[in-house]
Amino acid sequence: MNYSGILDQIHRDLKPWLGKGRVASYIPELANISAERFGMAIVRTTGEVFRTGEADTRFSIQSISKLFACTLAFQLLGDDLWQRVGREPSGTAFNSLVQLEAEQGKPRNPFINAGALVVTDVLCRRFVKAETALVEFIRRLSGERGIGYDAAVAQSELQHAHRNRAMAHFMASFGNLKMPPDLVVDAYTRQCAISMSSVELARAALFLANRGAVPSTGEQIVDASSAKRLSALMLTCGTYDAAGDFVYRVGLPAKSGVGGGIVAVLPGEMAVCVWSPGLDANGNSLAGTLALEWLTTFTGQSIF
């Protein structure tokens, strides 16, 4: 498969779409990023790397961090994690409080904000600094020691975290948050402010395409069955309230973030990450979704 040629073709064909959509202006630090920027990378389980555009430029991974936080929490608790957070698509916006009242403070899944706060609460109970533990985990997955979080982005998010604070306190009232809500929100905002490139994110997610093991080191992060289950969660819940349409168009398990990144996996073959900051109405990268749709169309590769 000529992945280099396909990525270059996608980059050329996408040019009319770059700059469309809206950046995440509700986070002031992200509002300054041009919507015209673009990078895309494929990392195969064999170690081969293919890239186009700004594939080595770091950006704010935002909700993509939820995938790695969930994996780390699942390492700690196993299936007991699902006693506190569900595994169903939400059908509502990623920052909605609507279902928490009716469902006694148990979020629908770990990839909406409420669910991610519960996951962060798990990490805060186990680690002195949850965000530091998560950064170290991601460094192991990606093999990149220089990965960290952007303090300016974290502070910008924290100053506008009213809805996340409301969710945290509301879940605490149901007993589904064990640590102080403000501590959990602080750790969560720093987690979302982690900066990585498309190449680094694809490498970090590659264990899911390799039966739960990091190909470069052989470290078994989760067993093969758990890798399948985490990928299934990505497929059904990973792209906000557009998961059905995304699966229809792309056909890969994926996790998106409002920083414009989307990471996806093809089991047994590769992980791919695309970055384009212009978002559609659901908070997914507009050009990034199109790029992944074209990738699976041009290669004929998806999980279906």
Is residue 148 helix, strand or coil? strand
Average of pLDDT values for 208-221?
97
- 122 annotated as belonging to a binding site for a ligand: no
pLDDT of residue 93: 67
Q: Within this chain, do residues 20 and 35 fall inside the same structural domain, yes or no?
A: yes
pLDDT band at 202 (very low <50, low <70, confident <90, very high): very high
Is residue 258 annotated as involved in ligand binding? yes
Residue 157 assigned as binding residue: yes
Report the distance separating Cα 19 and Cα 51, nearest Å.
Answer: 20
Q: What is the mean pLDDT of residues 272-295?
A: 97
pTM for the full predicted model: 0.96
pLDDT > 90? residue 96: no
Q: Provide the β-strand partners of residue 60.
A: 195
In this structure, is residue 95 part of a structural domain?
Answer: yes
CATH code of residue 107: 3.40.710.10
- Sheet of 59-60, strands arranged across: 59-60, 194-196, 148-149
Mean pLDDT value of segment 51-62: 98
User: Has 282 been labeled as part of a binding site?
Assistant: no
Residue 25 is which amino acid? S
pLDDT value at residue 258: 95
Identify the domain boundary among 165, 192, 219. 192
pLDDT in tens, 4-38: 999 999 999 999 999 999 999 888 889 999 999 99
Same domain, 164 and 71: yes
**Do 94 and 186 fall within a single domain?**
yes
Would you call 68 helix, strand, or coil by DSSP?
A: helix
For residue 304, is it within any domain? no
Number of domains within the chain: 2
187 and 67 in a single domain? The answer is yes
| In a domain? residue 249 | yes
Q: What is the pLDDT of residue 43?
A: 98
Determine the 3-state secondary structure of 220 from DSSP. Answer: strand
- Point out the domain boundary residue: 141, 159, 192: 192
Q: Are residues 83 and 183 in the same domain?
A: yes
Range of the domain at 45: 3-59+197-299
Contacts of 90 (CB under 8 A, 6+ apart): 96, 99, 107, 108, 109, 112, 237, 241
Give pLDDT tens digits for 34-53. 999 999 999 999 999 999 99
According to the annotation, is 149 in a ligand binding site?
A: no
pLDDT at residue 236 greater than cutoff 70: yes
